Structure 1
């Protein structure tokens, strides 16, 4: 615990130094290309550093105990978008995730640890309310959290199971395809048709005769039978209407808006999974995931307090008794979190929060549950903050695993 305290002190001193004298950064660096600013490009960059303590790690591949305290770069990203005129938009987003001592390489060239493309899409605006686009995009279905921004989350990180297709049919939550988005009064929508990922997490897996489903429909049945996925999300804005200029959904407005949204979404991959009968004959099973959620964020009182609350019901059907790791399972789950921004006269703000998830797993006829308790310490809103969280995961009949994570984040 002394090492955790020392790490926290170093990070706190560093971030306070970076935040000294700083004002709100605004929405990144905007460069106008013409005099009236109708042509421009905007650059946003951010980084998140983690110090993580987990005394319950299993033995490594050589049977040795693993270090309790580890460091990683959770995210290092750069987002660039350019408005050529009122009709056209280009978005490019690249970076890395979860860089640590186990996946770094001597010369920085190991494929799975270095920079890769997150988004690259073009958009044509039909009018001020509706648009079409295509490319590698993040206009996902199912729920708000499935298109979560990583710049302004309430909790330490997004709840992993809400990125329900990551690595199974898409590249890190991004799909290659076409999308439509828009606003009809207070109703916002996003729908997409995409190519399913070929080299997914189960690129070498085959179903066992009479066994459970494997997410390998495109590879085993062919792209004509299982090559496309379909997704959509619809939400009604009862109070302030949120921006849908970019696909990334805000996690906490810190009282700057008064938002109450109810949403519903879906994801369908026909014959996305495969089962084999006792004779070894393959059969495709449709993957169907549906979500229903609500989001509330509003100021409280006149002294800068605010509440953020979110709830989700999600039904996952990946095929017969599907399970992969401790992340993807056929079954159902509920998830929720709530946070309170404490009124403070100084620019430094504190936001404690709690989250809870309960999952039913068909193949295990059992449950998994996870609780998180933490707090955000803001030096300049989401642009400069520390987050400390304790998370406890209980998966089926395995022992509960507790993890303490300290995050330092800066974004410009």
Structure 2
């Protein structure tokens, strides 16, 4: 019997995987541990390789000009999950991000070239439609984009400001804590209570007297006052129901489903930010992010045409006049993108798209705008695709930054 299971597992590995838009793959790289498949281990692996042209790269650390063309491993990941019975599930997800010539190390032991845990969580089912879980998890709040899967993004990459807590209160968009998720008919929910990270992108920052806030509440005020975060995302599906078995939201179904969802979500970190008055006395400010969004993805006509559209309004309050680089700021944002799968009988499919967002920056009393124009070439759904995108970012009065990126992706 064990030999039979081993042979079946090898056949599954050689014949099956799963993704939107490709009928060539079944249930994925899945090891069935019993005859009816109710006990199993599934393995997913993917890599995204970038070649990027940018004629406006800043000088390097030695004051030298940098090359216009750069190559990187944008993502290299392995995700595994196992269902040992209908009540219990465990998931582990590890990999690396943005490995390039600057982050490589001579022997692969430097920080930039190391694998790290993205997710590791366990879950207990509360009947058919609800579950509780805990660990380092991705059951986030705010919006669909803050729960985006990187396997099936429609644009080249996710809208960066939508990952609104990445590196501020979490580890790469994952918090450690407890979550609950489920569905009441066409209404889905996910809520979580988590611990806030002490070692974040502002790990050594302190607020200037009378100046802007810093995201340092947990470190400077202590975990009793500023150590917990709260989040939730709630959505209603008017057409086909989406799976919420895993937390990762699909970017485009390529015409394989009819989906129209509206959602709303939040993130709250009491005393997450800190300000200092003119005398240097510290006080906490609550961090709050709210999102409202809509997702529409349907087949159009015949021969495989499909339309994908998404819109998001996000309001972010990180404290008084908060701003960190060109990524985070107290203010608001409107984002939208739309793509169209061109009809045709060929297995290779093409999907041109456009994205645009406008951000209001309270600290500068100014805006940032970003435009992306690109196209996907799907050779086997999301399992094998090329993406080419031109992007321009104008941040307040800064000179516009223009990039052209070609991405090659394989997903098994």
Residues 235 and 264 of structure 1 are in contact (CA less than 8 Å); yes or no, is this contact kept in structure 2? yes
Return the alpha-carbon distance in structure 2 between the equivalents of residues 358 and 368 of structure 1: 6
SS where residue 351 of structure 2 aligns? strand
Residues 211 and 276 of structure 2 are in contact (CA less than 8 Å); yes or no, is this contact kept in structure 1? yes
What does the per-residue CA deviation read over 1:87-127, in whole Å, with 9 as the maximum and x for residues that have no partner? 00000000000000100100001123310000000000011
Residues 27 and 44 of structure 1 are in contact (CA less than 8 Å); yes or no, is this contact kept in structure 2? no
For structure 1, the 5+ residue unaligned runs are: 1-21
Is 1:128 the counterpart of 2:128 in the alignment? yes
Return the alpha-carbon distance in structure 1 between the equivalents of residues 287 and 38 of structure 2: 43
Displacement of 1:26: 3.5
SS where residue 112 of structure 1 aligns? helix
Return the alpha-carbon distance in structure 2 between the equivalents of residues 381 and 236 of structure 1: 27
Residues 255 and 299 of structure 1 are in contact (CA less than 8 Å); yes or no, is this contact kept in structure 2? yes
Return the alpha-carbon distance in structure 2 between the equivalents of residues 26 and 34 of structure 1: 18
1:328-347 equivalences under 5 Å are 328-347=328-347
Q: Return the TM-score normalized by structure 2.
A: 0.94
Return the alpha-carbon distance in structure 1 between the equivalents of residues 112 and 384 of structure 2: 28
For structure 2, the 5+ residue unaligned runs are: 1-21
Q: Return the TM-score normalized by structure 1.
A: 0.94
Is 1:32 the counterpart of 2:32 in the alignment? yes
Return the alpha-carbon distance in structure 2 between the equivalents of residues 112 and 277 of structure 1: 37
Aligned to 2:198: 198
Residues 353 and 375 of structure 1 are in contact (CA less than 8 Å); yes or no, is this contact kept in structure 2? yes
Displacement of 1:39: 0.4
SS where residue 220 of structure 1 aligns? helix
Aligned to 2:259: 259
Return the alpha-carbon distance in structure 1 between the equivalents of residues 167 and 233 of structure 2: 20
Return the alpha-carbon distance in structure 1 between the equivalents of residues 102 and 203 of structure 2: 22
1:102-181 equivalences under 5 Å are 102-181=102-181
1:220-259 equivalences under 5 Å are 220-259=220-259
Displacement of 1:23: 6.7
SS where residue 244 of structure 1 aligns? coil
Aligned to 1:280: 280
Is 1:322 the counterpart of 2:335 in the alignment? no
Residues 25 and 383 of structure 1 are in contact (CA less than 8 Å); yes or no, is this contact kept in structure 2? no
What does the per-residue CA deviation read over 1:303-357, in whole Å, with 9 as the maximum and x for residues that have no partner? 1100000000000000000000100000000000000000011100000000001
Return the alpha-carbon distance in structure 2 between the equivalents of residues 326 and 307 of structure 1: 31
SS where residue 66 of structure 1 aligns? coil
What does the per-residue CA deviation read over 1:27-75, in whole Å, with 9 as the maximum and x for residues that have no partner? 4300100111110000000000000000011111221110000000000
Return the alpha-carbon distance in structure 2 between the equivalents of residues 112 and 98 of structure 1: 8
Displacement of 1:25: 2.8
* CA RMSD between the two structures: 0.8
Aligned to 2:364: 364
State how many pairs are aligned: 391
Return the alpha-carbon distance in structure 1 between the equivalents of residues 185 and 91 of structure 2: 26
What does the per-residue CA deviation read over 1:354-381, in whole Å, with 9 as the maximum and x for residues that have no partner? 0001000000000000000000000001
Return the alpha-carbon distance in structure 2 between the equivalents of residues 276 and 112 of structure 1: 34
Return the alpha-carbon distance in structure 2 between the equivalents of residues 28 and 96 of structure 1: 22
SS where residue 266 of structure 1 aligns? strand
Displacement of 1:388: 0.1
SS where residue 208 of structure 2 aligns? coil
Residues 28 and 45 of structure 1 are in contact (CA less than 8 Å); yes or no, is this contact kept in structure 2? no
Return the alpha-carbon distance in structure 2 between the equivalents of residues 200 and 87 of structure 1: 35
